[in-house]
Amino acid sequence: MLNVPSQSFPGPSSQQRVASGGRSKVPLKQGRSLMDWIRLTKSGKDLTGLKGRLIEVTEEELKKHNKKDDCWICIRGFVYNVSPYMEYHPGGEDELMRAAGSDGTDLFDQVHRWVNYESMLKECLVGRMAMKPALPKDYHEEKKVLNGMLPQSQVTDTLAKEDPSSPSYDWFQTDSLVTIVIYTKQKDINLDSVIVDHRDDSFRAETVTKDYSYLVHVALSHEIQEDFSVLVVENVGKIEIVLKKKENTSWKCLGHPQENHNSFIPKKDTGLFYRKCQLVSKEDVTHDTKLFCLMLPPSTHLQVPVGQHVYLKLPITGTEIVKPYTPVSDSLFSEFKEPVLPNNIYIYFLIKIYPAGFFTPELDQLQIGDYVSVSNPEGNFIISQLQELEDLFLLAAGTGFTPMVKVLNYALTNIPSLRKVKLMFFNKTEDDIIWRSQLEKLAFKDKRFEVEFVLSVPTSEWSGKQGYISPALLSEFLKRSSDTSKVLICLCGPTPFTEQGMKMLHDLNFSKDEIHSFTA
Ligand code: FAD
Ligand code: NAP
């Protein structure tokens, strides 16, 4: 399906291509790069064949458009004519054709739900799916479904109320405060579980429990002050968001429901929500990698959970382009603390700038004070994987180091059972090693931590390990502190590195539960 990242990455001769069992990327013809596509969309050419009209598409109509030169696909209720895009799709024409003439939402979500197809394909938009009235009686009598999308007017409280396992919310007030209480009906929640964004009068609190998202989304009936607090009562699964009234008047209602208010839906079916963050600093870390610090807007509560990533979005020649990045701490020595508002307003990223890349040179061009949009977090690492752990092994290649930063900080600070943390860090040259001196200092300071650098293109002076990830390197490195010790091995790097590493670990008899690979 749609795929934004450059199809030619990694370069043809790169090790990153070796034995990739990952999603295939098909070589594109000359003149069919992402930039060429953006140019075509800006050319004014009629890409839908409808001369700018938008139509309502019935299922029967959609089915008819199932050929390469006449291919319509529905994503979240919107229908696109993707024929003009075929040759530009990095995943190849065949992958797009799998959804020809049908609803491709699930296929799209499986591969890259984060891709900003609305912007990429806006010139290919044919229209919306026509509403079909059929829906089971036990749901809601009057509800109509627009393939994958509820019509705006029917965005009500009903979905959540009818499911007894769904979270619910309530609110109460004093003279000066309004407290919104979310009952998640889950015990394993914390301050990471809720994301709050308040802009103008729109108030949005998204609670993520397991794979579901519960949304409170209202236009507040009265003005509130910029700062608010978020409290979590973990053992009863209750979240309290305490807002400060601007005026001490009594509110008759909390506000008016907005899109998807009080909905409880699988996380994979929710769109990614973005807020604009300001670049506050940018520091060189290596010759090509920088530490970016972004500041969240006021009236935002967002904590990216350990091991998760976000998407950064920038308009590039008029099209919104999105790429994933993993937040880190500002340094290896910032002790892991439960961040609490208002100090937790900064998000740090270690980002490698690829001179021939599409996104990172643009990011590098940003000036202090410029804005970049940051999404809600995503990812499948769960902090409980670290509970009662004794040995933590981290295998990182290049910027695959980024998820390891918070994982190792968290483990060293919060896991009393931990005996050792060992990082094997693969890079081309010594100059490419991110935070080398910090890693060495940490190893000196904390006897539980060890680091080993492996270089693929070392100079003749390098006396350390060299080469690529291999069974020999791994079996020597991955020594348990006891035969029965609880172990976790985390892997992250170029996709083929991660895939080869996984296979080697299975061959070395580590179980699935003992391995976590970071992927998109
Ligand atoms: P791309 O356009 O994708 O190009 C990347 C490379 O391919 C460059 O070397 C470029 O020169 C080469 N290339 C591009 N086109 C061609 C061509 N036609 N021929 C030959 N070579 C070509 N990265 C980080 O730095 N930090 C992170 O924290 C981070 N976290 C991530 C988290 C996740 C979950 C994932 C999946 C990836 C993460 N990445 C991270 C990688 C990041 O998302 C981008 O892939 C990366 O920044 C490259 O983006 P780009 O658009 O600049 O480069
Ligand atoms: P890099 O510098 O190109 O590579 C780092 C090291 O890994 C080099 O020694 C390199 O060797 C080696 N390597 C590359 N491909 C290999 C392979 N197939 N087998 C064995 N060794 C291999 O790395 P980078 O440019 O920083 O890229 C980092 C990658 O990590 C990107 O693909 C990024 O998308 C990914 N990443 C993923 C996440 C996530 O959460 N999923 C987070 C951050 C980064 P040679 O170059 O000498 O071949």
Q: What is the pLDDT along the chain (520 residues), one digit of tens a residue?
A: 443 443 333 443 333 333 333 445 567 678 888 888 888 888 888 898 887 777 888 899 999 999 999 999 998 888 999 999 999 888 888 888 999 999 988 888 777 767 777 788 888 888 888 776 544 333 333 333 222 223 333 334 444 445 667 899 999 999 999 999 999 888 778 899 999 999 987 999 999 987 899 999 999 999 999 999 999 987 778 999 999 999 999 999 999 999 999 999 998 888 889 999 999 999 999 999 999 999 999 999 999 999 999 999 999 988 889 999 999 999 987 654 444 434 579 999 999 999 999 999 999 999 999 999 999 999 999 998 999 999 999 999 999 999 999 999 999 999 999 999 999 999 999 999 999 999 999 999 999 999 999 999 999 999 999 999 999 999 999 999 888 999 999 999 999 999 999 999 999 999 999 999 998 7
What pLDDT is attached to residue 296?
96
Residue 127 C-beta-side C-alpha neighbours within 13 Å:
16
What pLDDT is attached to residue 26?
64
Name the E strands within 428-486: 449-455, 465-466
What pLDDT is attached to residue 335?
57
Contact by Cβ (8 Å): 291, 327: no
The ligand minimizing its distance to the Cα of 21 is 2
What pLDDT is attached to residue 143?
31
Which of 4, 15, 322, 462 gets mutated to test ligand 2 (max ligand atoms within 8 A of its CB)? 15
Atom of ligand 1 nearest to the CA of 325: 30
The ligand minimizing its distance to the Cα of 359 is 1
What pLDDT is attached to residue 379?
92
C-alpha 409/C-alpha 406 separation (Å) is: 5
10 Å Cβ neighbour count for 281? 14
What pLDDT is attached to residue 179?
94
Structure tokens belonging to residue 451: 């680091």
What pLDDT is attached to residue 370?
98
C-alpha 203/C-alpha 64 separation (Å) is: 42
What pLDDT is attached to residue 343?
54
Structure tokens belonging to residue 407: 């994982």
Structure tokens belonging to residue 38: 């953006």
Amino acid at 225: Q
Ligand 1 centroid distance, CA of 10 (Å): 8
Degrees to nearest 5, angle at CA 296 with 293 and 297: 140
The DSSP 8-state label assigned to residue 513 in this structure reads: G
Q: C-alpha distances in angstroms, 354 versus 33, 73, 315, 361?
A: 16, 33, 18, 7
Helices (H) and strands (E) in the chain, counts: 11, 29
Structure tokens belonging to residue 92: 């190849």
C-alpha 241/C-alpha 216 separation (Å) is: 11
What pLDDT is attached to residue 3?
39
Task: Give yes or no for residue 308 CB within 6 A of ligand 2.
Answer: no
Ligand 1 centroid distance, CA of 252 (Å): 51
* Residue 19: closest CA among 428, 469, 476, 512: 469
Task: Give yes or no for residue 359 CB within 6 A of ligand 2.
Answer: no
Q: Whose CA is nearest to atom 39 of ligand 1?
A: 325
Task: Find the DSSP H helices in 377-478.
Answer: 402-414, 436-445, 471-477
The ligand minimizing its distance to the Cα of 350 is 1
Structure tokens belonging to residue 376: 């809600």
C-alpha 310/C-alpha 3 separation (Å) is: 17
What pLDDT is attached to residue 110?
76
Q: Which H/E stretch holds residue 37?
A: helix 34-42
The ligand minimizing its distance to the Cα of 324 is 1
What phi and psi values does residue 514 have, to the nearest 5 degrees?
-95, 0
Q: Whose CA is nearest to atom 30 of ligand 2?
A: 493
Ligand 1 centroid distance, CA of 362 (Å): 12
Name the E strands within 368-446: 371-375, 391-397, 420-427
C-alpha 123/C-alpha 112 separation (Å) is: 20
Atom of ligand 1 nearest to the CA of 379: 34
**Which residue in this structure is represented by tokens 């799998």?**
98
Strands of 224-233's sheet in order across: 168-173, 177-183, 238-245, 224-233
Which of 114, 359, 428, 504 gets mutated to test ligand 2 (max ligand atoms within 8 A of its CB)? 428
The ligand minimizing its distance to the Cα of 497 is 2
Which of 468, 500, 505 gets mutated to test ligand 2 (max ligand atoms within 8 A of its CB)? 468
Degrees to nearest 5, angle at CA 242 with 237 and 244: 175
What pLDDT is attached to residue 132?
62
The length of the chain in residues reads 520
Distance of CA 179 to the CA centre of its chain: 29
Task: Give yes or no for residue 351 CB within 6 A of ligand 1.
Answer: yes
